[in-house]
Chains A and B, each alone.
Chain A
Amino acid sequence: MKKKMSNRDKTFWAVIIPVLILFFTFNTLPMIKGIVYSFTNYRGYGTYDYVGFRNYLDLFTDARVGKSYLFTFKYALAGTVLVNVLSLIMALGLNSSIRFKSALRGIYFVPNILGGLVIGYIFSFIFTYILPAVGNAFNIGFLQNSILASEKYAWIGVLIVGVWQAVAMNTIIYISGLQTVPQEVYEASMLDGASKWKEFWKVTFPLVMPFVTINLVLSTKNFLMVFDQIMSLTKGGPAQSTESISYLIYKNGMDGGQFGFQSANAVIFFIVIVAISVFQMTVMNKKEEQL
């Protein structure tokens, strides 16, 4: 018997070792290399020197990097809040007793399956030509100029596209959350004569709380890594107001000869993402326990 078990163990190791090698080679190893590069002034080609912590010190004094963090956080925060509120409302609507339920669910999911880049190009045209035309026709001041050309509001254009795509996914997750709420719970609350509003906050919301956690973590992470929409809508402009961290790392790391410096930026970005995710999960877990 014992020998047989150890055969099973051997098979397990035989499977897991190649998987681990694969994972290490293309995930952990490049990460380590990235950390090493972050201490150099490498351009990506040619020779380079080790420069100690200079890149990290520079990061904290670089206005452009600072701006990209501000933009990315602002975008991720607004995006996460908007997406979760909207998709929870959508989910409540799509889960109530309506007609054409599955058709409607199907339609509202469409934005999610379409690629961010192409959608970005389509919206870019709408923002630059259609909306100003509408603004001019009906004399709506704030629409008359392309929103993407405004240093102040371009990020909202990017946000609209990001949210438009992300709502779909989170709605589906909330719907499946709502479906885990047993019908009896509602019946009980109806007997108590609770209003719809009260019913939502007292009964439904606590029960879908775990899904709120998933959605918050997922959408924060996705919004923090925004790239495609920037690439197709603004390319970081105007006045560098919509440069996301990922875009800046790509742009200056690959194109701008800042291979080393942007590696340092990526290391910091990684730490930030881990910190935010851990923070969200601890806080939400506590909340879940309280309820």
Chain B
Amino acid sequence: MRETKKTNWVLTIVLILGTVTVFFPLYMAIIIAFKQPSEMTNDVAGALAFPAKWSLDNFRQAMEVTDFWHSLGNSLLITLTTIVLAVLIHSIAGYVISRGMTRIKGFRFIYLYIVSGMFVPFSILMMPLVKQTAQMGLGNRAGVILLYLVFYMPMNVLLYTGYMKNIPMALEEAADIDGASTWKTFWKIVFPMMMPMHATVAILTALGTWNDVMTPLVIMSGTGQNTLPLAQLNFQTQFGTNYNLAFASYILALIPILVFYIICQKQILNGVANGAVKG
């Protein structure tokens, strides 16, 4: 028996106590969301106390004010479409670039060109993009999705090309000999083998797009369409000083991703770690 196998209880307790830093803000948000404006007090005990009654009234009202289902639908549509297209397009791009680099001149340059896009801050693209997407008729949800596909391309291509090093050429060569086309080889053999990387790409892209405010803010503002975070920004004035209503709305905005996280926690943590190691 090695010494390190023994449970370090002191550390365990310290770490458990430390979770207060995570739970406290969420606890505050939840109890405020359930309280009534008249229950808001300026003393500590009152602020930390449970609401007088657990009524879902604030939530119902918040849903109405922010058009919750509509915003949720937009967020889901944008995130899911982005994920699916990112996995399809970025994986084949990554595959082509990684295999192309060894045989075609210019692919190394293409690789560097795309990956260097990682350093381009959104700020420099923002103003020209606002004009450009509008001129192209893309000042809407579709435009936002398209932009995400471009913004996440550098990172995802980097991840996929890196991962291709783990997939032996021999497999493709064997398929080649069997007479399969490159196209077929990719979808039948390589794509399924990239599974772990698909998960990583999907998760990293999803976390980034779901919470993003700036892109929808400048691209879709004024179209009447909101994403979940954007709705919080746009309805600030309607909340006024009714913090209870506002917090109910915040909680509603946080719930979908929290639920998703609780269900897929393992995959998400693995995905993120995987991305870091390979990237």
Q: A: which residues have CB within 8 A of B?
A: 4-5, 7-9, 11-13, 15-16, 19-20, 22-23, 26-27, 29-31, 33-34, 37, 44, 93-94, 96-100, 102, 104-119, 121-123, 125-126, 129-130, 133-134, 137, 164, 169, 172-173, 175-177, 180, 186-187, 211, 214, 221, 224-225, 227-228, 231-232, 245-246, 249-250, 253-254, 259, 262-263, 266-267, 269-270, 273-274, 277
Chain A contacts for B150, CB-based, 8 A: 22-23, 26-27
Q: Complex Cα distance A246/B214, Å?
A: 10
Q: Is there an interface contact between A137 and B43, defined as CB atoms closer than 8 Å?
A: yes
Chain A contacts for B265, CB-based, 8 A: 106, 109
Which of A19, A23, A31, A176 touches B124 (beta carbons < 8 Å)?
A31
Q: Is there an interface contact between A277 and B119, defined as CB atoms closer than 8 Å?
A: yes
Chain A contacts for B254, CB-based, 8 A: 114-115, 118
Q: Complex Cα distance A221/B122, Å?
A: 12
Which of B2, B124, B276 touches A211 (beta carbons < 8 Å)?
B276
Q: Is there an interface contact between A98 and B233, defined as CB atoms closer than 8 Å?
A: no
Q: Is there an interface contact between A134 and B44, defined as CB atoms closer than 8 Å?
A: yes
Instruction: List which B220-279 residues lie within 8 A (CB) of chain A.
Output: 228-229, 232-233, 243, 246-247, 250, 253-254, 257-258, 261, 265-266, 268-269, 272-274, 276-277, 279
Chain B contacts for A115, CB-based, 8 A: 210-211, 213, 228-229, 253-254, 257
Q: A172-B269, A254-B130 are in contact. List 20 more A-B contacts (CB 8 A).
A: A5-B103, A26-B146, A26-B147, A30-B132, A93-B14, A96-B11, A98-B11, A104-B16, A108-B22, A109-B265, A111-B22, A118-B254, A125-B243, A126-B28, A176-B277, A225-B122, A245-B123, A253-B126, A269-B121, A270-B119
Nearest A residue to B29, CB-CB? A122
Instruction: List which B56-96 residues lie within 8 A (CB) of chain A.
Output: 89, 92-93, 96
Q: Is there an interface contact between A34 and B127, defined as CB atoms closer than 8 Å?
A: yes
Q: Is there an interface contact between A123 and B25, defined as CB atoms closer than 8 Å?
A: yes
Instruction: List which B12-42 residues lie within 8 A (CB) of chain A.
Output: 12, 14-16, 18-19, 21-23, 25-26, 28-29, 32, 42
Q: Is there an interface contact between A109 and B123, defined as CB atoms closer than 8 Å?
A: no
Q: Is there an interface contact between B8 and A225, defined as CB atoms closer than 8 Å?
A: no
Given A8-B182, A33-B128, A109-B269, check contact A117 B99 (CB 8 Å). Answer: no
Between A and B, 12 residue pairs with Cβ closer than 8 Å are A9-B103, A12-B99, A12-B104, A16-B96, A16-B97, A26-B147, A111-B22, A122-B28, A125-B28, A169-B272, A172-B276, A176-B274
Q: Complex Cα distance A263/B39, Å?
A: 48
Query: Is residue B195 within 8 Å, beta carbon to beta carbon, of the partner chain?
Result: no
Q: Complex Cα distance A114/B273, Å?
A: 18
Which label, helix, strand, loop or mixed, suits the secondary structure of the B interface? helix
Chain A contacts for B7, CB-based, 8 A: 97-99
Nearest A residue to B214, CB-CB? A227
Chain A contacts for B120, CB-based, 8 A: 27, 31, 270
Chain A contacts for B211, CB-based, 8 A: 113-117, 228
Given A113-B261, A118-B254, check contact A30 B121 (CB 8 Å). Answer: no
Q: Is there an interface contact between A266 and B277, defined as CB atoms closer than 8 Å?
A: no
Chain A contacts for B89, CB-based, 8 A: 19
Which of A26, A122, A129 touches B25 (beta carbons < 8 Å)?
A122
Q: Complex Cα distance A274/B116, Å?
A: 9
Which of B26, B93, B127, B183 touches A44 (beta carbons < 8 Å)?
B127
Chain B contacts for A112, CB-based, 8 A: 207
Q: Complex Cα distance A97/B22, Å?
A: 22
Q: Complex Cα distance A23/B29, Å?
A: 41
Query: Is residue B129 within 8 Å, beta carbon to beta carbon, of the partner chain?
Result: yes
Query: Is residue B6 within 8 Å, beta carbon to beta carbon, of the partner chain?
Result: yes
Chain B contacts for A26, CB-based, 8 A: 125, 129, 132, 146-147, 150
CB distance from B271 to the nearest CB of A (A): 10
Chain A contacts for B228, CB-based, 8 A: 115
Which of A7, A33, A109, A119 touches B182 (beta carbons < 8 Å)?
A7
Chain A contacts for B5, CB-based, 8 A: 97
Q: Complex Cα distance A15/B181, Å?
A: 14
Q: Complex Cα distance A5/B182, Å?
A: 10
Q: Is there an interface contact between A93 and B28, defined as CB atoms closer than 8 Å?
A: no
Chain A contacts for B9, CB-based, 8 A: 99
Q: Is there an interface contact between B12 and A99, defined as CB atoms closer than 8 Å?
A: yes
Nearest B residue to A138, CB-CB? B44
